[in-house]
């Protein structure tokens, strides 16, 4: 009787491995944070200044990546999110300079961000084009339009800006933490406690079965892109809070950084039932920490290529380790 009730050793081994891999992203974040603090202190730099940089860059990436989780959970991806952030911020600055109204600027930022995301998903749905193809096209178009607006209106400085006092009330870290916490909490509730999140994970895990049960991929793809658009809008606004000016290079690398951050957070790039909202939060700050560590220890003039190689190797290692969590003979449950 005792033998019947005892758990299979293979099952215990699998559960232990799964638990270890689940906590690995959080442990990696703690190690990276400790390493970053040690390197900054060892070089004699001001820790508070560098932590402020990490915080501001991490908040923007985490916010945009949190919204993007809904797209990635479907097994798709969107590399135009950086261009959408740039485009939204650019038109927001132009709207404020034309009207002098902060509410109008916010309305334009969020409206443009959601509109760009909707356009990508609708084009894919109507013309039956793979989503990643439409996002590649959107990335090129939005970047080109934003760069043209900035070059025409930026003058000799090569950028457009708003007065710093406009966004000064939102500059304290506690305000940004509130924005991040509220958005992440809302996304967590939608993703884990509503049919929207459950069905999106179902579509990402097994689109054929999901379609046979009557779940519309187009409908939930549009919902995913709308939520991602809200994240882009919030990320664009927080970018302006951190630096109240926009140049052609603003948010240029966010699109690819999101993919790396989500993987760093322990989420499989294939999406599906193992998608987690907290992956964006943990992975976003982990990636920013790693990126800044490499900048501190590698000469930016001669070691850019080395830095990219180290990041790529680290990325592949994380993909391999997290892949161990779902590389089994059974279907995910």
Assigned domain for 8 exists: no
pTM for the full predicted model: 0.88
Assigned domain for 18 exists: no
Assigned domain for 15 exists: no
Containing 246, the helix (H) or strand (E) segment is: strand 245-246
Distance from C-alpha of 36 to C-alpha of 53, rounded to nearest angstrom: 12
Assigned domain for 9 exists: no
Distance from C-alpha of 62 to C-alpha of 301, rounded to nearest angstrom: 28
**Predicted pLDDT at 133:** 82
SS3 annotation, 60-92: HHHHHHHHHHHHHCCCCCCCCHHHHHHHHHHHH
Q: Give the distance from CA 258 to its chain's centroid.
A: 4
CB 247 within 8 A of CB 159: yes
Assigned domain for 12 exists: no
Distance from C-alpha of 232 to C-alpha of 304, rounded to nearest angstrom: 28
Tokens representing residue 30 in the block: 């703690």
Give the max Cα distance, the chain.
83
**What are the distances in angstroms from CA 228 to CA 43, 121, 266?**
39, 11, 19
Assigned domain for 252 exists: yes
Radius of gyration of the chain (CA): 21
CB 82 within 8 A of CB 138: no
Q: What are phi and psi of 245, to 5 degrees?
A: -150, 160
Long-range contacts made by residues 168-175, C-beta under 8 angstroms, separation at least 24? 170/237, 170/238, 170/241, 171/241, 173/52, 173/55
For 201, the domain range is 25-323
Map tokens 């215990």 to a residue. 12
Total structural domains in the chain? 1
**Predicted pLDDT at 120:** 84
Tokens representing residue 126 in the block: 């109507």
Tokens representing residue 56 in the block: 């501001």
Assigned domain for 213 exists: yes
Per-residue pLDDT 10s for the chain (333 aa) are 444 455 677 677 767 777 777 788 888 899 999 999 999 999 888 899 999 999 999 999 999 999 999 999 988 888 889 999 999 999 999 999 999 999 999 999 999 999 999 888 888 777 777 777 888 888 999 999 999 999 888 764 668 999 999 999 999 999 999 999 999 999 999 999 999 999 999 988 888 888 888 888 888 989 999 999 999 999 999 999 999 999 988 887 888 889 888 888 888 877 888 888 999 999 999 999 998 998 888 765 555 567 677 777 777 777 676 665 555 444 444
Distance from C-alpha of 62 to C-alpha of 59, rounded to nearest angstrom: 5
Distance from C-alpha of 265 to C-alpha of 257, rounded to nearest angstrom: 12
CB 187 within 8 A of CB 66: yes
Assigned domain for 203 exists: yes
Closest among 321, 221, 250 to 18, alpha carbons compared:
321
Task: Check which CATH number belongs to the domain holding 79 and give it.
Answer: 1.10.3470.10
């Amino acid at each position: 009787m005792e033998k019947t009730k005892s758990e299979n050793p293979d099952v215990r081994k699998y559960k232990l491995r799964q638990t270890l891999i689940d906590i690995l992203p959080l442990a990696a974040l703690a190690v990276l944070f400790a390493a970053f603090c040690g390197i900054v202190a060892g070089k004699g730099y001001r820790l508070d200044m560098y932590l402020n940089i990490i915080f501001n860059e991490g908040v923007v990436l985490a916010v945009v990546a949190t919204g993007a989780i809904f797209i990635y959970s479907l097994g798709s991806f969107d590399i135009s999110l950086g261009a959408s952030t740039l485009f939204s911020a650019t038109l927001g600055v132009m709207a404020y300079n034309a009207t002098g109204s902060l509410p109008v600027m916010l309305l334009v930022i969020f409206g443009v961000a959601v509109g760009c995301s909707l356009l990508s998903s609708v084009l894919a749905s109507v013309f039956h084009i793979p989503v990643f193809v439409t996002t590649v096209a959107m990335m090129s178009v939005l970047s080109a339009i934003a760069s043209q607006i900035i070059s025409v209106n930026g003058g000799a400085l090569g950028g457009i800006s708003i007065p710093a006092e406009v966004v000064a009330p939102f500059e304290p870290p506690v305000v940004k933490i509130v924005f991040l916490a509220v958005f992440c909490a809302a996304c967590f509730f939608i993703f884990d406690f509503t049919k929207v999140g459950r069905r999106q994970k179902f579509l990402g895990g097994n689109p054929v079965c999901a379609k046979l049960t009557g779940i519309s991929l187009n409908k939930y793809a549009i919902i995913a892109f709308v939520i991602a658009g809200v994240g882009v809008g919030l990320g664009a606004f927080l970018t302006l809070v951190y630096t109240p000016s926009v140049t052609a290079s603003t948010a240029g690398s966010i699109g690819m950084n999101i993919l790396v951050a989500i993987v760093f957070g322990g989420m499989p790039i294939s999406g599906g039932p193992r998608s987690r909202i907290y992956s964006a939060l943990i992975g976003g700050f982990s990636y920013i920490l790693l990126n800044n560590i490499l900048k501190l220890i590698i000469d930016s003039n001669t070691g850019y290529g080395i830095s990219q190689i180290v990041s790529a190797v680290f990325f592949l290692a994380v993909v391999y380790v997290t892949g161990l969590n779902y590389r089994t003979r059974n279907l995910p449950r």
